[in-house]
Chain A
Amino acid sequence: QVQLQESGPRLVKPSETLSLTCSVSGSSLTSYYWTWIRLTPGKGLQWIGQIYFTGTTNYNPSLESRVTMSVDSSKNQLSLNLSSVTAADSAIYYCARDSGMFGADYWGRGTLVTVSS
């Protein structure tokens, strides 16, 4: 059974960097894309970007200048860093597995991150 779990600070100060980890169980990172998505009340679901197990990335151009993703195959984990955050980055952040051909299949439950001083 594939399970993904997001973790990280729930509160981040404006201008700082949001850092999240996604722990994957029941699936190897190999041969999949790993995606970060967020849900905000105003904008709905937004695709942040994805990383292939080799480390190749594709980021949403609207966030590209502030996003960094990485994979740690030894720990079966993914990481997301979003720099220079503002209140507009407050959201529920999800990680998801993506097969490539058929899109995202398994998602984590998400973690709520609030940007506030």
Chain B
Amino acid sequence: DIQMTQSPSSLSASIGGRVTITCRASQGIGIDLGWYQQKPGQAPKRLIYAASSLQSGVPSRFSASGSGTEFTLTISSLQPEDFATYYCLQHYTYPHTFGQGTKLEIK
């Protein structure tokens, strides 16, 4: 299985601040990666597909980059609704695998 190492596991930031979350794949996955936001009791929401493409309707303060084994998600100008848990997911090969998640909390 491809291991997705996501860091940090938790993060505190201020409203208006900027954060970056990283996922590293144990082998190359091209750009077959998505980023998801999850809030308790809600369906996970896809923010990014194909490593860097913004899902329709997602605010432009979310951006992502990477290919191969290293990927980043950046959230600039943090808003109250951004405090949630974020996951990466590789779909390059079976089984698809997730990062461990990053819980973003308000400082």
Interface, chain A (partner B; CB < 8 A): 4, 35, 44-47, 49-50, 58-62, 94, 96, 98, 102-110
Contacts and interface: CB of A to CB of B under 8 A. Distances in A.
A49 B95 contact: yes
A103 B43 contact: no
B91 A98 contact: yes
B98 A47 contact: yes
Tell me if B's interface is mostly helix, strand, loop or mixed. loop
A26 to B, nearest CB: 13
Interface in B63-101: 87, 89, 91, 94-101
Interface in B33-88: 33-34, 36, 41-46, 49-50, 55, 87
Can you list the 6 inter-chain pairs with the closest CB atoms, starting with the nearest?
A: A103-B91, A45-B98, A60-B95, A47-B96, A107-B43, A102-B49
Given A105-B46, A105-B49, A109-B41, A44 B98 contact: yes
A44 B95 contact: no
Contacts of B44: 94, 96, 107
A98 to B, nearest CB: 7
